Chain A
């Protein structure tokens, strides 16, 4: 009874923090507060000291006793601001507040208790404010809602940016940079990361990228772990993005907000000159806006809290489409512009042919959460959250799910927009259930979790028909019109009037004797050299599941210091049900002479000679079962140095649609070892080193396409048997009478060719894909809440899994380049070295002013011949089966600077919040400067096409210049009442509208050439051995292909109650 009254005053301290503390909180977590309590006079450790830990983030108070060595340890704490109080008979009570705890971190707070008897001197025990996590060697950054609401971080041009997805926040951490599909950490690619929200892995089971782009408004903290982490985290060769969502609290609290990004305020942009064309399309952002709210509070104070949130975001792009005609002079000769040797065809607009189209997206977000503290030792949390996103409609174009760009910037949409465009569905729903229990005075901990991550990803016809439907746009075949020549070999492209009506068709007639600049006859002034007619082409619907269960046991043990021993088991099942087809069963492709149409793409198989079985749609179910187990010990040796030792075991089996085993990946042993020394012994510093091995979790796209294989069949139809229909479509007679035989005399199939693969063979000696990491660094807290640090990282690949061919593309197999049956291939390598210096002062201050500063400088080297799970040069996202290593003839010159090899990265962020009287003034700034990326000299390959041959060693092209970006944040608001504020914000991205160069044309020639082995361009040869003709050099080589995104604004209004 007496003890309670002693601590009553603690609640004032706690309330005081509530006024300035972050508005919303979380309840169950995995942070740890630990420390040693000693007698201030004698220095001896004190046992049985009552330690009470409270926080607005915590349901109730946590109480433990110190052990025989004076050590206390309070685990399972959610991130937030903590107060610790210590009480022992015969000593003055001690308390310390303002201890900030981030998620999954350990803070050591030692204390000395003053004996009551000691009156002689006023021993001012300065309670330190420790922030250094002395229990781990993990590098990275904790980014909390204080940071994201004051510093401009989520620019409007990334995937999920309309609803402000958390992923781009990760690029604040040293060693993390945006890549095409997300965030690259320590030289790896974004599909290699583990994305975890409330303990549930939310990676896309098919591609590995982020599957749930949850809004930053519902998130308490993003923990970007870039390396040095313990075996509890597995199935990643990149980093870990561990996200903790917000929770309720003991007070009813909520926010209502809206944001708006106007496309009209975009800064002036530097344009890249493009060649003229009969059909031109110009895309601009119209606007992005979203509305949302969140609300949380107690159902039973200190026991049961709820939190809920909802957001809806709209994005709109405008595509201005115009038809044009070739400009000819009085003599009928086609006109061109000559800009330093590069020729641009000149076109003039056709009157009355301008059309405005829109690409629109609607993204919803929801979250509902319950935190139940059964008692101080047992907690349960349940969160349900999702991000359903829809784009496109009958009349509007869609937005691509994977990259977040309007579909006409990702697909070839030069054609009949009305019938070829798509609707997209990209939704995810998640359930996370977690239990945390503590036993025996918190010396035994038991955690169990269950999660279900569900995704649907679909690209559907504009009219809502489904793959396999026999009517609607799903049944209309796409036609790729591309006639170029007539029977005599003279130019004879389709005029645009073959497909679309124009107000004045006479404008497209070529005058008699008109020619192009080379003197070849012009048959029309409005050539449609290629035209996409007919239906939506590739359409699919994918349903993906991930079920996870895990259980972890932790034991706190004394023995030559203290041990925190952990062991765990987890099971993960992933399922990928994919329905895909080409609309109408196949895509038709016109021959260059116009005399035939081939089934350029079409899923199906031959059940016997010339016995075709189209599959419309092709359905494939792929399955992965994975188990993981780990054991680790964090041993504070004699309480001086901490040694972390652990071992993780993973195994994964992959089963394809044929119900048979596709690939087995057992015996993935990953050791982790690290040591940490705190030379202040007070939680203010550390020096650390660690070594770790990591394994990749294979994603199911490879299974979908390889086991049993993506079977396609092809035939060729006489053009006469394919009369034209509406919208640029055709309807071919499907009997063999109208097909051309296309095979050799010995082939039992005369009319059909099987394209696409059979089940891909796997090297019997296959080794799972893994990487290793070495890390060494130090950190020091120079003043309260301000730390500086330094670390050096080295990462390298041990084994890589890729598909290869040893007979120039006639047959493929999956193996490890450089070993097993692929030992005649060069080893796949990727090596990353980086040195980072950083400083951070967390958001903190007094009633009037709070401020934060953080920054880093990283110098890094990324070299090798394999970039990762997608190819940056082409954007191909097919983890482990992309075109790297496919052909032996493509292998020379691949070793060198990889596309992500930018030498220097500077990042500085700062924010301040001034709150005089009832006003709030926020200022925030972000500065990023990055040195340029390497470029290449590329040529074409006979089989694989443009840009596949490295003429000179990788990375020897001119480096792109530095890019800089300065972002600003301004907020002005009012405190209408205690706990009620209203704030108006403006974020400006690329404040000074820097138009830095983002790429050069790397195609040295479009001719098929051989790699040069002596580094001398003069010895360049064609594929057939003849010397290269300098006139075949691409005149655009080395010219700029893109500039930075211009200045953009985001306005916001947020009310907190």
Chain B
């Protein structure tokens, strides 16, 4: 073990010995369990976009991906070396990345149809499809809320993508879309660790020369639960009851929503996934 490790061990032991004696002195003080750090559940959230202003009609409901992470701790390694394998996480900072599937699908089209050997590259190498921001505090406030006030804008600006076999087939018209999320709020408790959020969204698009912009209130819940049922005629229809299944009423391994959310979700008729129609207090 390195010398610094031995020293660290001794310092660690010294502090815990002191801590231990504190315990002896104040058993009645009562230790409580640690609070969860601010975080978002990993993966896609099923979201509802509630338009506040503007002229666009593109967004109603869909999917948004959230990813919280701790950055590299600069005191543990060379943070600029991508091959460093001794980095530890910096637990005093939590970041959040948000990506709308709209920009994600643009990226997928660029992946699928670019052909480096033919010199065709549709990628927007100047912009990222996700926005990145930092949590205001490491831990939830007194109402169990975590805040990411500001995030960078996400944007994808691409030329027209055509089918290489038949250039008359347009895969994706020229489009430039920007999503700017802000004022993100997540509910973080032991039972609901970052699985429901609200945010503001400023949206701008220019598709095939036609521009518009809009602002939305975004409400999202995790995990995405599929809720397509049938109506009286036997046609596909949203089924709210499928959003409220429990382990006892569903097959093993089924994707289920936290029962604390049952009062807030409905089955969205456009995407047949459960999305919030209202939110818990504070969000």
Chain A residues within 8 Å of B, Cβ to Cβ: 468, 543, 547, 569, 571, 573, 575, 577, 585, 605-609, 613-616, 619, 621, 623, 625-627, 629, 649, 651, 653, 655, 658-667, 708, 711, 741, 743-750, 754, 758-759, 761-764, 766, 806-811, 813, 821, 887-890, 941-943, 949, 1008, 1010, 1023-1025
Contact = CB atoms under 8 A, between A and B. Distances in A.
B125 interface: no
A573 B223 contact: no
Contacts of B13: 547, 573, 575
B122 interface: no
Interface in B89-106: 89, 91, 95, 97-101, 104-105
A746 B104 contact: yes
A747 B85 contact: no
Contacts of B99: 609, 746-748
Nearest to A709: B89
A811 B66 CA distance: 15
Contacts of B137: none
B32 A764 contact: yes
Nearest to B68: A758
Contacts of A569: 24
Interface in B237-275: 247-248, 251-258
A625 B19 contact: yes
A817 B258 CA distance: 18
Interface residues of B, number: 73
B253 A667 contact: no
A584 to B, nearest CB: 10
B104 A744 contact: yes
A762 B190 contact: yes
Contacts of B8: 621
Contacts of B195: 811
22 contacts: A573-B16, A573-B20, A607-B70, A607-B87, A607-B89, A613-B72, A615-B88, A627-B23, A651-B31, A659-B91, A664-B31, A667-B30, A746-B62, A746-B63, A746-B65, A747-B99, A748-B97, A764-B33, A766-B33, A810-B223, A813-B191, A1023-B253
A733 to B, nearest CB: 14
B252 A1010 contact: yes
Given A585-B85, A660-B91, A807-B258, A821 B67 contact: no
A616 B86 CA distance: 6
A606 to B, nearest CB: 5
The 4 closest A-B pairs by CB, nearest first: A745-B104, A664-B31, A889-B252, A746-B65
A615 B27 contact: no
Given A575-B12, A608-B132, A623-B12, A807 B190 contact: no
A622 to B, nearest CB: 11
A807 B223 contact: yes
A943 to B, nearest CB: 5
Interface stretch (B36-44, B170-178, B196-204, B208-216): B36-44
B69 A745 contact: no
Given A627-B20, A666-B27, 6 more contacts: A621-B12, A625-B20, A653-B19, A748-B99, A887-B252, A889-B253
A619 B76 CA distance: 12
B86 to A, nearest CB: 7
A942 B101 contact: no
A941 B130 contact: no
Interface string B117-147: 0000000000011101000000000000000
A655 B251 contact: no
Question: Which of B69, B85, B252, B254 has the most A CB atoms < 10 Å from its CB?
Answer: B252
Interface of B: 1, 5, 8-9, 12-13, 16-17, 19-21, 23-24, 27, 30-34, 36-37, 39, 41-44, 62-67, 69-72, 84-89, 91, 95, 97-101, 104-105, 107-108, 111, 128-130, 132, 190-191, 193, 195, 223, 247-248, 251-258
A594 B37 CA distance: 41
B49 to A, nearest CB: 13
Contacts of B9: 575, 577, 621
A267 B85 CA distance: 52
Given A468-B85, A810-B255, A609 B31 contact: no
A765 B35 CA distance: 12
Contacts of B36: 759, 761
A655 B255 contact: no
A518 to B, nearest CB: 29
Given A606-B69, A747-B104, A808 B247 contact: yes
A808 B253 contact: yes
Contact of A758 (B19, B39, B63, B252): B39
A621 B66 CA distance: 30
B16 A761 contact: no
A613 B84 contact: yes
A748 B252 contact: no
A778 to B, nearest CB: 38
Nearest to A626: B20
A553 to B, nearest CB: 16
A799 B19 CA distance: 26
Contacts of A661: 31, 33-34
B20 A747 contact: no
